[in-house]
Amino acid sequence: MDKPIIIAPSILASDFGRLAEEISAIDRAGAEWVHLDVMDGHFVPNLTFGPPIVKSVRAASQRFFDAHLMVSNPDRLLADYASAGAEGITVHIEACPHLDRTLSAIRELGCRAGVALNPHTPVDGLAHILDRLDMVLVMTVNPGFGGQSFIEAMLPKIAAVRELIGGRAIDIQVDGGITPATAGQVIAAGANVLVAGSAVFRGGADSYQANIDALRS
């Protein structure tokens, strides 16, 4: 099933001193989603932001807020991010010992439920939770840092996820090293949601629309 391409700029690459304005700018530039890279300094080395920041910028855009929780023990944070304004919450399969329960809890909060796979993580773990899923995120870099190079070995993995999903209404998101040069490759492999940081936010607000258009085309 063909789906429209969704561009989800990662605010990790934005100017944090002007975060609300940056989110408004990517909204005006045509981004469909706002991607929130949440890092806890434990599951991944970096530390980014928590629910109070999400809540403070929620009014800057009516676009879909997509929270990617790169955290240990995400279950304790689900309600906080939903309350702050996240409309989609993605957790890492590696961090969820009771993944079925976690995904059910996300949906009970009124959010779309996603599962992220690190580069080394096999696709098989998705087989028995497909009825709980709204999105699969294939990491095309190792999580925890922006600006990394795209791992081409993830292209067959995207295709494998696409095959496993079949005709189900589940989005396939990719995150890491997405540029105009790699966007076509991941779309051809089966992805329809592209997370991009520096490829969107380079050049300042006047360049954001052209940067987003370049990814989409």
Question: Which one from 66, 134, 171, 175 is the annotated catalytic residue?
Answer: 175
The C-alpha atoms of residue 209 and residue 27 are separated, in whole angstroms, by: 9
| Token pair 């292209």: residue | 155
Q: What span, in angstroms and rounded, lies between the C-alpha atoms of 169 and 50?
A: 30
* 131 labelled catalytic: no
Selecting among 15, 27, 37, 124, the annotated active-site residue is: 37
Instruction: Report the 3 state secondary structure along 36-88.
Output: EEEEECCCCCCECCCHHHHHHHHHHCCCEEEEEEECCCHHHHHHHHHHHCCCE
Q: How far is CA 207 from CA 22, 56, 115, 118, in A?
A: 12, 25, 32, 31
| Cα(215)–Cα(149) distance, integer angstroms | 16
Q: Is 175 a catalytic residue?
A: yes
The set of catalytic residues is 37, 175
